[in-house]
């Protein structure tokens, strides 16, 4: 496991067990949606000062690992 992935935590008592950033109530999905909206790293870090650049990198790496699984399900928009 890449060391940066330790920033992604799964705790049944935080965000209903969804993957979160450093056990905060800020989910990986939230951050990925923010990135998908077009915000830059700098804009995110300004708007969410409790996040660190490594948190964003960890979310992207986590998402890439999920996307690289054997069982990928097509999602229709």
Q: Which pLDDT tens digit goes with each residue over 24-35?
A: 999 999 999 999
State the pLDDT confidence band at 1, using cuts at 50, 70 and 90.
Answer: confident
The SS3 call for residue 50 is coil
For the chain, how big is the Rg over CA atoms in Å? 13
The domain segmentation of the chain, as residue ranges, is 3-67
State the pLDDT confidence band at 73, using cuts at 50, 70 and 90.
Answer: low
Buried b / exposed e over 36-64, threshold 16 CB at 10 Å, is: eeebeeeebbeebeebeeebbebbeebbe
The pLDDT, as a whole number, for residue 60 is 97
Examine the pLDDT at 77 and tell me if it is beyond 60: no
**Does the structural domain 3-67 have CATH classification 1.20.58.2030?**
no
Residue 77 CA to its chain's centroid (Å)? 20
Query: Which tens digit of pLDDT belongs to each residue from 14-65?
Result: 999 999 999 999 999 999 999 999 999 999 999 999 999 999 999 999 999 9
């Amino acid at each position: 496991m890449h060391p940066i992935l330790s920033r992604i935590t799964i705790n049944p008592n935080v965000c209903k067990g969804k993957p979160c950033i450093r056990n905060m109530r800020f989910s990986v999905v939230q951050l990925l949606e923010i990135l998908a909206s077009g915000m830059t790293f700098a804009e995110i870090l300004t708007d969410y000062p409790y996040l660190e650049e490594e948190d964003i990198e960890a979310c992207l790496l986590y998402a890439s690992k999920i996307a690289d699984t054997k069982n990928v399900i097509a999602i229709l928009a």
